[in-house]
Structures are given as C-alpha cells and as structure tokens.
Structure 1
C-alpha cells in the first residue's frame, strides 16, 4: 500500500476512501488506485465507516489484488475474507434456487388413500 486518503464528495456528502497501491505482474511493476468494479464501493455516508475502511489499508500494508493477465495494468483489490452477511446471502440464494427447482419440476407430496 502506497497511500490512503479520505475525501468528502460535495454533491453526495459521502466520504470516500482513495487508495494507491503498487503490485508486480508479468515481472513488471504497476501502480493502481482502483478499489472495485463498483465506483462507490469505498464510499460511505458516515465518516466512522470510512475511517474504519481507511484503517484497514495503512501505509505499507500488504494487500491481495486481482489483475487481468491479458492487461496486467488493470487491477482491483481483492477482499481478504467473506463476512457473515456474504455467507447468509449465499445460503439464502441456495434455498431460493432449491425451492424454485422444486416448484418447476412439479413434484408434490402425495397423500396416501
């Protein structure tokens, strides 16, 4: 991690964490500031949330990134771990998928008699 800054956007009032990091890909050194595919992923209405995000990426911190092997200059930060909300959402999606498959197959419970 090279630098972390915190800016307040005038129009939205959101606090946005700006990151700058260096990485090596294909034996070359690249620098990027892209956080995510979503431009607003590092923006928060509450300053405390922005400060907490900023604290995760202090100067000198080693971070994991993803980059495009065909265009290694295109990179973004890879979140370190899945959180509880991520796991719960995946389980909910699985339940909905299974319920949908059950409904589409038209199988119903048969009552004896």
Structure 2
C-alpha cells in the first residue's frame, strides 16, 4: 500500500507535464511575433467519425530572418478545432478569404520559427479538467504517503 501514494504522485507529475506543455504553448502563442505569409493551397474537408465538422485545410509559406518555412499548421493544438465548424457555409466563407496567393498573418514561435500558426488557441475545458485532475492526484498521493508515514 505504501507504493500507491507514490504512484498517485508520479501519475500527477506525468500528467502535470503533459497539461503544462499543452497549456503553455496556447498561452505563449498569443504574444509570439508575427510575419505575413502567402497561401499556397486551401480547401475544405469534412471530418469522419464522431465529429462531422467541416474544416479548412491550408498550406502556406512564410519567412523569418531570411529563412523560408512551409506549414499546414493552423494552431498550437494539434488535435483542436481551429478552422473547423459544423456549418459548411461558415467554413466556405472563411475559405474565400484564404485563397492561394492571398497574404495571411502567421504567428511563429521565436525559439523555433518552423512552428507557425494562423489561429491562437485559448485554454479549453480539457486544459482545466487536466489541471484539476493533477491537483486531485497530487493531493491524494501526498495524503496517502503522509498517512502511511504516521
């Protein structure tokens, strides 16, 4: 039973690292510098599976300090909903603004400029849920370790 408290603590630290890294990029990206890029290709597609949202698929080129980068990343969250909506008409309207050859604002990570994004993410329900879960696991683990030590 002594091991269970430490397992809770280890689990909370592991989950805490995941949660922190997921949230830190979202928060930091708001203040990332930006440049202007050029849309290379754009279209829409419909997700398959549980979510059948319509999404923008985009490929763009941008330059930072003389180096050229090409990306298709829309936001910091790799599994997010940036550029997606249930309404095809809304996504089609967005697509009209990002046709090949158009210029777009690209935020980039100053430490790793190859990471460029079009949309900034805010914290979402999962970020708050995982943060709370980390606190519960950590508190439970500490409580068990202290109880077993007494």
Please give the TM-score of this superposition, normalised by the length of structure 2: 0.49
Superposition deviation, residue 15 in structure 1: 0.5
Measured in 2, the distance between the counterparts of 1:65 and 1:78 equals: 8
2:110 is matched with 69
SS at match of 2:116: strand
Are 1:60 and 2:101 counterparts? Answer: yes
Structure 1 runs of 4+ with >6 Å offset? none
Contiguous gaps of at least 5 residues in structure 2: 1-38, 121-150
Corresponding residue of 1:89? none
Give the one of 91, 96, 102 matched to 1:50: 91
Q: Give the count of matched residue pairs.
A: 79
Q: Does 1:35 align with 2:82?
A: no
Q: Report the Cα distance in structure 1 between the residues aligned to 2:109 and 2:47, rounded to whole angstroms.
A: 30
Residue deviations 1:2-25 (CA, integer Å, cap 9, x gap): 000111111111111011000001
Out of 9, 12, 20, the position equivalent to 2:59 is 20
More helix per residue = 2
**CA RMSD, 1 decimal:** 1.5
Note the residue ranges of structure 1 that are not aligned, 5 or more in a row.
80-113
